[in-house]
Amino acid sequence: MASKIDYAAVRKDIAALLHQPEYDDGSAGPVLVRLAWHSAGTYCAETDTGGSNGAGMRYEAEGGDPANAGLQHARVFLEPVKEKYPDITYADLWTLAGVVAIKEMGGPDIKWLPGRTDYVDDSKLPPRGRLPDAAQGNDHLRWIFYRMGFNDQEIVALSGAHNLGRCHSDRSGFEGAWVNNPTRFSNTYFNLMLQRQWKEKTLKNGIKQFVYYDEDADEELMMLPTDLALISDDSFRPWVETYAKDKAKFFEDFSAVFHKLMELGLRRDESGKVLNSDNVKGGYHAAPKKSNQPGASGTDRRGEADGLAKANEKARPKL
C-alpha cells in the first residue's frame, strides 16, 4: 500500500545515488529529470490519455519510442531503490526521482504526491509521437504543450529545466550541454539564450542545432531549435526575459509547473487519493522489480539492463 511506504527514506536513497562520478557530468540527476518528464509528457487533455500514471516506459511500445532513447540509464539507476522499497510503484518512483533530483541539484522544492499505479499490461499506453521534436519551432511547441493543458508562460517556465544535463549524439542526435554547469539548477539557460550569439551548426549526422563557443571555459554550449524558438516569439519572449532577470520568480513558477506536469492525467479526491479507474479497480499495484543486478547481464527479463552493462560499467558499482 502506498501509505506504508516511507517516502522520506525513499527520497534520501534517491539523493544518495545521484552522485555518479563516471556517468556524464558526474550525476544521474539530469537524466532522472528527463525520465520524470517523459513519463508524464504523453498526456492528452482532450482524450485524457497518457500521463504519469502507469509507468508505461516499462513496455517496449513506450520505452522503445526513439523519443525515449537513453532513459533506460535513468531507469537502471533507480533499480536499487525499487529493490529496497518493492511496494513503491515505478510510476511514483520515476516522478519522485525527478523532483528529488531537481531539489538536490539546487532547484526549488516541488510538491509531490504518491498514488500512481503501474499498468498491468501495455493496453492503455499512449501512442508514440506525443513527445516534442526538438528540430521544430513555436507552432510545434504550442501544439505539444497545449495538448497537455499548459499555457505560454508555463511552457517557458518548464523549459528552464534545460539548464540541466546534455544532449547525446547516440540518443537524440543532438550534442552538448546548454550551460557550463549542467548539474546545477539555475536560470542561466535563460540568460545565455538572451545574451549570447547563437550560430547554427550542422552536426556530422546532418542534425542542425545552435552553438556558442565559450572561450573562458573552452567549451561549446548548445541550444535546440525549440529552445531558441522561445526568444523569437512575442508571447514567449517576455517570460524568458522575466526568468532571466528574476531567479526567485523562475523557481516559484517552475516549481508549480513541474508539479502540474507530474500530476497530468491523475484525478484525486480531497485527501489526495487517486480516483482514476485503474487505481480504484486495480488498487495501488506496484509492478515487480525488473532486475536484481542493474547493469549485470542476463538478469533483466526485458534485457534493459543488459544493454547498459558496458555503458554503465564504471558507474555500476555505485548503483
Interaction site with ligand HIF (CB under 6 A): 30-31, 33-34, 37, 70, 132, 134, 141, 158-159, 161-162, 164-168, 171-172, 174, 224, 226
- CB-nearer residue toward ligand HIF: 33 or 125: 33
- CB-nearer residue toward ligand HIF: 222 or 309: 222
CB 268 to ligand HIF: min, Å? 22
Distance of alpha carbon 210 from alpha carbon 253, whole angstroms = 26
Distance of alpha carbon 187 from alpha carbon 185, whole angstroms = 7
State the residue for C-alpha cell 547554427. Answer: 200
Alpha helices (runs of H) in 112-216, residue ranges in sequence order: 138-148, 152-159, 188-195
CB 146 to ligand HIF: min, Å? 12
How would DSSP label each residue in 195-250? HS--EEEE-TTS-EEEEEEETTTTEEEEE-HHHHGGGSSTTTHHHHHHHHH-HHHH
Cell of 241: 526575459
The strand ranges marked E within the chain are: 166-167, 176-177, 199-202, 208-214, 219-223
- CB-nearer residue toward ligand HIF: 11 or 162: 162
Largest CA distance in the chain: 58
CB 108 to ligand HIF: min, Å? 13
Mind telling me the catalytic residues? 38, 178
Contact 23, 308 (CB under 8 A): no
- CB-nearer residue toward ligand HIF: 85 or 190: 190
CB 91 to ligand HIF: min, Å? 17
State the residue for C-alpha cell 503501474. Answer: 118
Among residues 61, 89, 144, the alpha carbon closest in space to that of 276 is found at 89
Cell of 46: 482532450
Residues 6 or more apart in contact with residue 313 via CB below 8 angstroms: 295
- CB-nearer residue toward ligand HIF: 33 or 57: 33
Among residues 245, 254, 193, 194, the alpha carbon closest in space to that of 222 is found at 193
- CB-nearer residue toward ligand HIF: 10 or 148: 148
CB 282 to ligand HIF: min, Å? 28
CB 5 to ligand HIF: min, Å? 25
Q: What does the radius of gyration of the chain's CA atoms come to, in whole angstroms?
A: 19
Residue closest to ligand HIF, measured at CB? 165
